[in-house]
Amino acid sequence: MAETLFVSDLHLDEDRPQIIRGFRHFLEDRAPEAEALYILGDLFEYWIGDDDPAAPFEPVMASLRDLGQRIPVYFLAGNRDFLAGSGFAERSGCQLLDEPVALDLYGTPTLLMHGDTLCTDDRDYLALRARLRDPGWQERFLARPLSERRQEARALRAESHRAQVAKATAITDVNPEAVAATFRQHGVDRLIHGHTHRPAIHRGDVDGRPVERVVLGDWYTQGSLLECTPAGCRLTPWGCR
């Protein structure tokens, strides 16, 4: 079927087994109808390195591998799973992409991102991001025992929750200038991203050119899909029980 599916911000966590089940159901029963699936980051609540057995996710890996035998499954990292590398790719069968990804989606030039780099008003977050993406930091982090890494990831997560609550909503949303600059720089008509957990399809214009910004939803209490066909894109919930 001429349809491409997008998901992001699943934040898979063993504490939310119903979401893991719902996602597997999606991978097995819904996704094979499409011609491709893109996962736009934050598949996991946190990913501390490919050497972590991450046993609670093995069923998800198996479902991803099966799906990958039928259609291409692409993964672009988010701010929670930027350490997912070739080991993850091998285990999941996902093809890793570096953001931003430009593609022709049924005739519409489209750009894919996780979305965190569009939140340029959140200076503290961008400073943290620069620190965590530093190859030296990553090398030192990956050299530490798994238990310490897990503890650190949980501490970072707790800190991020505290910071989110304390910040004004506008600060943690995308910056309109950064969005316009992204459209200009890449010359696309559509931008698809997640990260902010504020699902919507925003239509506007950049320099008089009509553009569309699609924001994917998270999978905290239910699933969220973006279905794109030659006729356009549609956000739709996905049940998780």
With residue 158 as reference, give the H or E element that holds it: helix 146-166
122 near Mn ion, rule: CB under 5 A:
no
8 near Mn ion, rule: CB under 5 A:
no
CB 76 within 8 A of CB 41: yes
112 vs 110: CA distance, rounded Å: 7
222 vs 224: CA distance, rounded Å: 7
Closest to Mn ion by CB, 37 vs 40, is 40
- The beta strands (E) that lie in 194-231 are given as 200-206, 209-215, 223-229
Token digits of residue 212:
């569309």
Taking the complex as a whole, how short is the minimal distance between the CB of residue 173 and Mn ion, in angstroms? 13
Sites for Mn ion among residues 222-241 (CB under 5 A):
none
Closest to Mn ion by CB, 80 vs 149, is 80
Sites for Mn ion among residues 27-66 (CB under 5 A):
42
Closest to Mn ion by CB, 78 vs 223, is 78
Candidates 63-71, 105-113, 133-141, 187-195: pick the segment binding Mn ion (CB under 5 A). 187-195
213 near Mn ion, rule: CB under 5 A:
no
Q: Which position among 79, 110, 172, 196 is part of the footprint of Mn ion (CB under 5 A)?
A: 79
Candidates 72-80, 118-126, 156-164, 178-186: pick the segment binding Mn ion (CB under 5 A). 72-80
| Residue 186 vs residues 32, 72, 129, 182: alpha-carbon distances, Å | 30, 24, 23, 6
58 vs 64: CA distance, rounded Å: 10
Q: By C-alpha distance, which of 214, 235, 225, 221 is closest to 26?
A: 225
Taking the complex as a whole, how short is the minimal distance between the CB of residue 149 and Mn ion, in angstroms? 19
195 near Mn ion, rule: CB under 5 A:
yes
78 near Mn ion, rule: CB under 5 A:
yes
Binding site for Mn ion (CB under 5 A): 42, 78-79, 195
